[in-house]
Amino acid sequence: MKTQKDAITPLQFMFSITCFLRSSSLLSAFFAPISKTDSWLVVLLAAAVCLPFLWVFILLMKAFPGKNLIEINDAVFGRIAGKIISAIYIWFFFTLTSLNLRDLGSFVGKSIMIKTPQLVIVVVFILICAWAASHGLDVVTRYSVVFVIISSIILVVTIAATTDHMNFENFLPILRQPPKNIIQSTHIVSTIPLGELVTILMITPQVNIKPQKIGRYFLAGFLLGALLIMLVVARDIAVLGNTITMFGLPSFETLRMVSFFEVLTHMEILFAILLIILFFFKISLLFYVSILAMSYLFRLDSYKPLILPCAAITAAYSFIVFESLTKHLEIGRDTAPFMWVVFEFLLPLLTLIIAYIRKLPKKEREARSKEAAKV
Amino acid sequence: MILFLIISFLAMLLIDLPRVIKAKQIRLFIVYGGIYATAFTICLLLTLGISVVSPLTLLSDLFKNVLKISY
């Protein structure tokens, strides 16, 4: 199913990962009330915790070059078990897409377009993302570099503009929170959003690079994304201090305080623009991954016929995925970290272990060398 | 609202059906039909105000109340 049109460059791949992670840095509501002023440290700890699992992803990419996650599941677990596990992953991908779509709909509906029904916002947005996905991975990821640059410029400008409001004593004392809170927050950040990079395993065959070199771009994108998340959280802590726990969107409140020469004020519009841009990227990529996975599961020649009905399912699912914001926060803080560990860490690790027990990469190499010898 | 839903799904069918028929693949036809029917059912239930249980909430309750795995 890989076509020349769908191939992406290593830089697009790297910045797609950064953009994917960056799009979640604006939503620190899950962990900021728990780790409070230690949230910046939690991001660093979560990144460190994720590194071994990223290594698992990279080993899977190198062991099965040219195969995406669904094909790897088929190869490792066999046809029936592989299809069951792939179906579970597809549910996970659709759930992530719907959660992000719902978050965007809630934000735009409550902050910007207050009189517009959320249904309209969600449907219009998913149609735009579906349209992007219909043109292939290259179109979806083409502007990832630009988006990362824009978000980084806005980050630097807002850090410079809020310097007057910053109080670096807000960071002290370090590790003020009890260990349980630090562990919980680290767990949350490592799964939402760092661990969501498991979805990238669906697009790695479409990167125009030798399998041995893909790891460095994956790692570079991850580290850059984690760094940007940490800087955003640190900026919010420096400005808001302990009041960070009072706000659902701390970055939104931080940007309210930005003013240039008392002429340009209420720069939270920058947050809104950035959120929409980054969410567009993330939802488009997640939607593309979801329908691509579905097309591989059912062994279809193309994912394109599935775009519109899957967009309808995603939009509908976004309205039922959780009943209220309170339930969303409760799930995100209490149970989602444990649920997501299964999809993001345990299943890929199990896949790698079984692959090595069955000596599958070696068998594949032998099969390839035998075929080459016959020719 | 139901009329809008039916019109939207008919429009979806008008856009996709020619491509699905042209492909001449039974598997594609079955998969597309299944996904289309699922999408229409869920959207219809939501439009009629019937609450649909979220798989995420069910899974969360399983982890929290049955397996006792939560913070």
The beta-carbon contacts of A208-213 under 8 Å, at least 24 apart in sequence, are: A208/A7, A208/A8, A208/A9, A208/A10, A209/A10, A209/A13, A211/A61, A211/A62, A211/A65, A211/A66, A212/A62, A213/A10
Q: What is the mean pLDDT of chain B?
A: 92
Instruction: Please name the residue of chain A whose CA is at the shortest distance from the CA of residue B20.
Output: A305
Cα dihedral: A213, A218, A219, A224 (round 10) = 130
List the one residue out of A222, A319, A281 whose CA is nearest residue A23.
A281
| The three-state (H, E, C) secondary structure of chain A, written as one string | CCCHHHCECHHHHHHHHHHHHHCCCCCCCCCHHHHHHHHHHHHHHHHHHHHHHHHHHHHHHHHCCCCCHHHHHHHHHCHHHHHHHHHHHHHHHHHHHHHHHHHHHHHHHHHHCCCCCHHHHHHHHHHHHHHHHHCCHHHHHHCHHHHHHHHHHHHHHHHHHCHHHCCHHHHCCCCCCCHHHHHHHHHHHHHCCHHHHHHHHHCHHHECCCHHHHHHHHHHHHHHHHHHHHHHHHHHHHHHHHHHHHCCCHHHHHHHCCCECCCECCCHHHHHHHHHHHHHHHHHHHHHHHHHHHHHHCCCCCCHHHHHHHHHHHHHHHHHCCCCHHHHHHHHHHHHHHHHHHHHHHHHHHHHHHHHHCCHHHHHHHHHHHHHHHC
Q: What is the pLDDT of residues A56-74, one digit of tens each?
A: 999 999 999 889 999 999 9
The reply to whether B43 touches chain A by the CB within 8 Å rule is yes
Of B39, B52, B71, the CB nearest to A309: B39
pLDDT interval class at A98 (50, 70, 90) = very high
Please write down the long-range contacts of A343-350, taking CB distance under 8 Å and 24 or more positions apart: A343/A88, A343/A89, A343/A92, A343/A198, A344/A53, A344/A191, A344/A195, A344/A196, A344/A197, A344/A198, A345/A53, A345/A56, A345/A195, A347/A85, A347/A88, A347/A89, A348/A53, A348/A56, A348/A57, A348/A60, A348/A198, A348/A201, A349/A53, A349/A56
Q: What are the tokens at A157? A: 């400008």
Q: Token pair for residue A169?
A: 């004593």
Nearest Cβ partner of B54 from A300, A301, A321?
Answer: A321
Closest residue of B to A307, CA-based?
B16
Which pLDDT band, with edges at 50, 70 and 90, does A189 fall under? very high
Of the two residues A346 and A328, the one the predictor is more confident about is: A346
Question: Quick check: A290 and A202 in contact, CB under 8 A?
Answer: no
pLDDT tens-place string over residues A278-315? 999 999 999 999 999 999 999 999 999 999 999 999 99
The predicted-structure confidence for A2-59, as pLDDT tens digits, reads as follows 444 578 999 999 999 999 999 887 667 788 889 989 999 999 999 999 999 999 999 9
pLDDT higher than 70, residue B56: yes
Q: How far apart are CA A337 and CA B24, in angstroms?
A: 44
Exposure on the CB side of residue A116, measured as CA atoms within 13 A: 16
Contact state of B63 with A338 under an 8 Å Cβ cutoff: yes
- As a whole number of angstroms, the distance between CA B13 and CA A197 comes to 34
pLDDT at A318: 95
Q: pLDDT tens across A347-375, in order?
A: 999 999 999 999 886 655 566 566 556 65
A306 vs B: CB within 8 A: yes
Buried b (16+ CB within 10 A) or exposed e, A100-122: bbbbbbbbbbeeeeeeeebbebb
Enter the CATH code of domain A10-374.
1.20.1740.10
Question: Cβ of B54 and A323 within 8 Å?
Answer: yes
- The Cα–Cα gap between B29 and B39 comes to 15
Query: How far is it, in rounded angstroms, from Cα B42 to Cα A310?
Result: 12
All structural domains of chain A with their residue ranges: 10-374
Q: Looking at the partner chain, which of B23, B39, B60 has a beta carbon nearest the beta carbon of A316?
A: B39
Closest chain A residue by Cα to residue B14: A308
Please indicate if any CB of chain A lies within 8 Å of the CB of B10. Answer: no
Q: What does pTM read for this prediction?
A: 0.93
Q: What is the pLDDT of residue B7?
A: 94
